[in-house]
Amino acid sequence: MQRMEYKIANRKIPVCLECGDKIRYGRTDKKFCCDECRMKYHHEQVKSSKTYKRRILSMLSRNYDILENLIRSGVESVDLLELEGLGFIPGVVTSYLKVNKHDEYTCFDIKYIMTPTRVTGIKKISLNLQVRKNIK
């Protein structure tokens, strides 16, 4: 019996991930002190994930609009600093491909080549999106 009391006395007391209170009862691997803290913590995790996705999609949309306006104006090449001045963010793309000696980027259905100082070859590409239907 004395050995059991020793283990309990030396046990590391877990702390609630949401409120920081010590959890003095229950399993030793318990992460939350109550259901309210557990639900609040997980709600914040989902909320921050959705906010992150929304920010990325917003940046992609801004880049797309800028590139699309350049295409409409007949511009195929532009200085990178000028493009950044319009609000373009170079690192936000939907895909990247190293082709021979240059870097080819796409923002949805717009393809372009980016060098350290210029963006060239701005053009729309056709996407073959196929919808698969499982017919039995």
In whole angstroms, how far apart are CA 57 and each of 9, 109, 129?
A: 52, 15, 20
Record the pTM: 0.64
Q: Where are the beta strands (DSSP E) in 12-94?
A: 78-79
Which two structure tokens, joined as six digits, stand for 68?
Answer: 């699309």
Q: Over the chain, what is the mean pLDDT? A: 87
Q: Under 8 Å CB-to-CB from 13, ≥6 apart: which residues?
A: 22, 23, 24
What pLDDT, on a 0 to 100 scale, did the predictor assign at position 10? 66
Whether 74 has a pLDDT exceeding 90, the answer reads yes
Percent of the chain predicted with pLDDT > 70:
86
In whole angstroms, how far apart are CA 54 and each of 49, 61, 109?
A: 9, 10, 20
Q: What is the pLDDT of residues 116-126, one digit of tens each?
A: 999 999 999 98
> Around 110, how many Cα atoms within 13 Å sit in the side-chain half-sphere?
21
What pLDDT, on a 0 to 100 scale, did the predictor assign at position 114? 93
Whether 29 has a pLDDT exceeding 80, the answer reads yes
Three-state DSSP class for residue 105: strand
